[in-house]
Amino acid sequence: MKEIILLKDGELALKGLNRSTFEDILIKNIREKLVGLGEFRFVKSQSTVTVEPVSDDADLDEAFSRIQKVFGVVGVSRACVCEKEIGEITRCACEYLKDELMFAKTFKVKAKRSDKSFPYNSPAICDEVGGAVLSAFRGIKVDVHEPEVTVNVEVRDRYAYIHGTQLPGAGGMPTGTGGRACVLISGGIDSPVAAYMMAKRGVKLTAVHFASPPYTSALAEQKVHRLLEKVAAYAGRVNLFTVHFTELQEAIRDDCPEEMFTVTMRRLMMQVASRIAEWQGCDALITGESLGQVASQTIHALKCTDECASLPVFRPCIGMDKNEIVIVSRKIDAFDISIEPYEDCCTVFTPRHPRTRPTPEYAREVEAMIRDKDRLIDEAVKSAKLKIIEAY
């Protein structure tokens, strides 16, 4: 029996005339995800994309699991393809879904006929297929409200497709339809979640990580790579720039009042990241900040850091509690990596009593105390080393 993958693109339906472009981007993203898994053909029609294997070596199992992580897909199912003839449809339905139907107590049939020339309308298809299931599987009953198994029959242009329960897709918008933004990624819990959340809205990601060797280790950097791989499984390829931040941090330690270390460090991070982001063609920055979580994330501290960014700063975690962030972190399989205990540059020179109500005027004054600041910022920008992160 020939099998394909059927996917539904939900929110895309809202996009009117842009819809076709959005679907093209979605298909391009899926194509990229399926590289190396054999040859597939893509057909789009009526909020549905069919992914059909055309070469013998096509790996449908792996394709199915990768497609579940593609943004812009709301539902995905494996379906069997059959000729548009009612006897063939009933036979395929009983055969293809026999493992599910055999152990189920209840079922219903849902039929959709987009080819109006097909001689059976939807209720008639339900009657035929329902009748066949009732006589093939002993003891099973129809329950139209809460069936254990739904037998879906879709009669489309060329073929009829039969599938069981549809699994949820990754949701959101296809990556690349929402512009490009640069995430400031640490090894913590929040910034990978922030990156995932913005990618889910269609944003293509670039990433910047600040490393301060020898205070931070190579293992800490590898941890960031592994975290970004978890994000890239959804977001597609990510260009990661690792910035050598040691001299700037030492300058802060030597020249600034201790209570302002963290806020000043964040201000410098924003400046360096803004430059890299603009050079990479990004139109926004992303951070994992959450209001009130730590001293550097009070409304006053954020006001001080925000003014140093030359682009809008997206903070998708801003209104989330830690446990809400952790739920997303676990969902994308990042949590266990995030809690590995490696030093981040933020924890290197932590003030004992950080100021929680800094003013921008004072923050500017403190920043101006850094000798040679402009040169150090230039050097940090120039130190950025690119690594391409790709994962499935």
Q: Which stretch binds ligand ATP (CB under 6 A): 50-58, 140-148, 344-352, 369-377?
A: 344-352
357 three-class SS: coil
d(C-alpha 256, C-alpha 264), whole Å: 8
Shortest Cβ 183–ligand ATP spacing (Å): 7
Q: Which of 184, 238, 248, 376 binds ligand ATP (CB under 6 A)?
A: 184
Tokens of 334: 């990042």
186 touching Mg ion, by CB under 5 A: yes
Site map (CB under 5 A) of Mg ion, residues 331-370, x = contact: ---------------x------------------------
Phi, psi of 386 (to 5 degrees): -90, 135
Phi, psi of 204 (to 5 degrees): -85, 135
Residue 70 or 346 with smaller CB distance to Mg ion: 346
Q: In this structure, are residues 67 and 5 in contact, taking their beta carbons and an 8 Å threshold?
A: yes
Phi, psi of 190 (to 5 degrees): -75, -45
188 touching Mg ion, by CB under 5 A: yes
User: Per CB under 6 A, which of residues 188..217 are in contact with ligand ATP?
Assistant: 188-191, 208-210
Half-sphere exposure of 279 (CA within 13 A, CB side): 13
Site map (CB under 6 A) of ligand ATP, residues 278-317, x = contact: ---------xxx---xx-x---------------------
Query: Which of the choices Mg ion, ligand ATP, none does residue 210 contact, using the CB cut-off of 5 to 8 A by kind?
Result: ligand ATP
Residue 117 or 323 with smaller CB distance to ligand ATP: 323
**Residue given tokens 């036979």 in the structure block:** 91
Q: How far is CA 42 from the centre of its chain?
A: 22
d(C-alpha 357, C-alpha 268), whole Å: 18
Shortest Cβ 29–ligand ATP spacing (Å): 25
**Residue given tokens 């020249």 in the structure block:** 255
Query: Which of the choices Mg ion, ligand ATP, none does residue 288 contact, using the CB cut-off of 5 to 8 A by kind?
Result: ligand ATP
Q: Which of 186, 246, 264, 274 binds ligand ATP (CB under 6 A)?
A: 186
Q: How many residues sit in the footprint of ligand ATP (CB under 6 A)?
A: 19
d(C-alpha 363, C-alpha 356), whole Å: 12
User: Per CB under 6 A, which of residues 222..281 are in contact with ligand ATP?
Assistant: none
Nearest to 133 by CA among 146, 145, 116, 147: 147
Shortest Cβ 379–ligand ATP spacing (Å): 17
For residue 269, count CB atoms less than 10 angstroms from its CB and return exposed for 0-12, middle for 13-18, buried for 19 or more.
Answer: buried
Site residues (vs ligand ATP, CB under 6 A)? 184-186, 188-191, 208-210, 287-289, 293-294, 296, 344-346
Site residues (vs Mg ion, CB under 5 A)? 186, 188, 346
